[in-house]
């Protein structure tokens, strides 16, 4: 199993390719409701990943937990 930046880049590339394949399949085969729901989930996941990446850059670490303040 690969580790390090190269493995992370390969994993991100594989996920991008898989995401594109799912989007193309949905465009051809899925009902409009399923397409809309799936794309909404994918968009939310993308936003959460971007939030994590920006937080990681600001904190200069990926070793943190997000806690809500009540």
pLDDT in tens, 16-33: 899 889 888 888 888 889
Q: Determine what percent of the chain is predicted with pLDDT higher than 70.
A: 84
Mean pLDDT of the chain: 84
Residue 35 zone, left/alpha/beta (φ > 0; ψ -120 to 50; rest): alpha
Tokens for 28? Answer: 């051809």
**Taking the CB of residue 42, how many other CB atoms lie within 10 A of it?**
14
CA angle (19, 25, 30) in 5-degree steps: 120
Mean pLDDT of 8-19: 88
């Amino acid at each position: 199993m690969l580790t390090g930046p190269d493995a992370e880049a390969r994993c991100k590339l594989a996920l991008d390719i898989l995401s594109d394949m799912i989007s193309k399949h949905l465009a051809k085969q899925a009902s409009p409701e399923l397409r809309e729901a799936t794309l909404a989930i994918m968009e939310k996941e993308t936003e959460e990943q971007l939030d994590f990446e920006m937080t990681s850059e600001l904190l200069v670490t990926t070793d943190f937990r997000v806690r809500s303040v009540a």
